[in-house]
Structure 1
């Protein structure tokens, strides 16, 4: 059922629909190399096949992980002899340097039009030398309506599909088929074929594909992708953003996807990061409870770990939020990286070694514990950046409100105490 022309591609109309980028490339016969990026079974190979069919160029398919440099050389020789070849390179994120170096000049001279296919984020996983020579196009999981179109074609096509078989697909079975694989058409067609070939005709001579038969034949696609796949990082990202956005039900949904994938390590790590990054000083007791829940989850393991995790995810969602901590340290880091640090005031320098006083180290240092309330006005930042202020207290929770009040009170006292008084800095 592989498409032979762009008109036969199901879904991905943002790329292959009339007037869209790949449609225009093919129509103008001005193809450039591209990387198609998206989940399995969503049409990456189909689009490459359709481009080749629509342009009548030779079409070859290799796998970057398993095929050798010699296989690439054969394709290059063919391109030299007979003109342009469209090369679909599956798993392009696995392309090693030797194969890449061989390919680059052929991409430059246009003999090989490379269509890379990958399930990994190309901006992270693909070498910049290849990436800069290709346009990156995302492909998306197919909608149930797209999948129903493909099912209809498969059931009626007598040449390449199941059209010669007397199949009757129940409406609820078609509905299940269109939604069971999370937009993976390959899995749908494989399941449909398995169901058709393994079901005996009924008394009326027809093959009745019912809901139970389809449910048995289709392996449902894991919602969270594999633990190392790009989709998995998207779920983790959505998990944190849902907690940050205070959406309990969305956060529990993404937590469930991560639990279903069995990746307790990622859940625990992300939960602790989220607690400190997004709730932080607005509710430090909740942050501590998140750490405790993460530790309990690791000790008891799945499936029981879901209980403390759910409790604390709900609490973090409904808690006041503050990112003042991460903003403060990132502000300090940014200034340090720009060279904004200056010399440490001499009275703050280490004075534990003999001769330190001769250098002025530790001289005139005021020991806070010798003063009322264990505090004294004293400049701690280097002169160059003595006015730096990284922490901006928020007012979203009582805990940080109290910290903020103390912060501003100390700032005011520091300014007043240092007026007209300057520590020696030489």
Structure 2
């Protein structure tokens, strides 16, 4: 077979879609539309290789509609006109509009009436959030669905199917070691298309022996030019690296932080790395440097858009930023103490003057009576009780003296405490 594995394995029905069960699972919205035979145009967004084209292909296959692909960046308006003419005579056409966020105004103006008339069922695909990147004129005429990254188990399931499905996968006998399968699934960062391509490269470059092709971990490492980060069956090694990364950043050791981040980058595990960096930004940096949280989110979003290998660049920036940033866990500790008190004391009655007074009958219950509006007072503060009676006097937030922002919060806390004593 000369056609790439990723193309051969593209689903022809909804049942063949890997993952995205929140959209195509039993009783879920896209499956319901397909089963009812009443499709509406939509935009699917999420990282590369997780099923946007697959879902469009599956919808077309399940409904027997013609299926065409149009790229907003590279295809011309003339091509769009040809597809529109075909749609008028085909009785139904599903159009995958790739990179819809790059659709220029001329193409938009041509497409909008086709969507309104139902001549074309458009499935827009984008890696960017359409609420920010797609024009309101398009957004108002479609449903918007976010796709979820595929799990390692889902990637492995898809690869195993490619090995056993003689019609769509490999006609020759191909076997693969479990650690090689794990390697592909973790290295490709939830990108199924990349996983298929990686397996295909390994199979096509391996000689047949004894009537079969056998793929080992070494073959996969050589094919991808990336080494395998060994992890035991329960994933302890994986979590050890994440733990070491967080403790190194918490300890302000920038070199160790970069080392452990590099190990996760080498394993291709961008999702775990991103989640842990966000946790660190809020748990360990916290109020000492709140800007670090914004920087972290920006770096992670950029890394996910870029993908590896370029993703290592924003990751390097934020790892260094977090490691050398001032540290504070005061917010983390304050919330833990508040949660512990909640568990021990239960849900205590809210003071009546703080309760909602907008609904009918609330006044008769005494709700919202006696509440003082702080903005009406010179200091924008007025003495009154906010906590349930049993908890009055608790002091959860113990500010650290590690950053300008938290020092400012500490001074304001002291000011309010002084006012309350008067």
TM bucket (normalised to shorter chain) is 0.5 to 0.7
- Contact 1:33–1:107 (CA<8 Å) still a contact in 2? yes
Show the counterpart of 1:387: 378
Does 1:154 find its partner at 2:162?
yes
Show the counterpart of 2:329: 318
Whole-Å Cα distance in 1 between the matches of residues 97 and 122 of structure 2?
7
Cα 1:318–1:26 shift into 2, 3 Å: same
- Contact 1:34–1:116 (CA<8 Å) still a contact in 2? yes
SS in 2 for 1:15: helix
Cα 1:101–1:188 shift into 2, 3 Å: same
Question: Where in structure 1 are there 5+ consecutive unaligned residues?
Answer: 221-241, 262-269, 291-300, 323-383, 414-426
Deviations 1:38-93 (A, max 9, x none): 11111110110010011011111010111111111111111122222110000111
Show the counterpart of 2:399: 397
Cα 1:210–1:188 shift into 2, 3 Å: same
SS in 1 for 2:95: strand
**Larger Rg belongs to:** 1
SS in 1 for 2:327: helix
- Contact 1:59–1:87 (CA<8 Å) still a contact in 2? yes
Does 1:56 find its partner at 2:64?
yes
TM value normalised by structure 1: 0.59
Does 1:38 find its partner at 2:46?
yes
Whole-Å Cα distance in 2 between the matches of residues 303 and 106 of structure 1?
43
**Which of the numbers 211, 214, 229 marks the counterpart of 2:220?**
214
Deviations 1:91-116 (A, max 9, x none): 11111111111101000010100000
Deviations 1:180-211 (A, max 9, x none): 21111111111111111101123x23212100
Whole-Å Cα distance in 2 between the matches of residues 100 and 193 of structure 1?
37
SS in 2 for 1:316: coil
1:78-157 matches, within 5 Å, as 78-157=86-165
**Which of the numbers 174, 177, 185 marks the counterpart of 2:181?**
174
Whole-Å Cα distance in 1 between the matches of residues 319 and 88 of structure 2?
63
- Contact 1:88–1:115 (CA<8 Å) still a contact in 2? yes
Does 1:196 find its partner at 2:198?
no
SS in 1 for 2:194: helix
Deviations 1:135-163 (A, max 9, x none): 1111112122222221122112333321x
Show the counterpart of 1:183: 190
TM value normalised by structure 2: 0.60
Deviations 1:161-187 (A, max 9, x none): 21x222221121122222221111111
SS in 2 for 1:25: helix
Deviation at 1:321, TM superposition (A): 8.0
- Contact 1:196–1:209 (CA<8 Å) still a contact in 2? yes
Whole-Å Cα distance in 1 between the matches of residues 104 and 161 of structure 2?
39
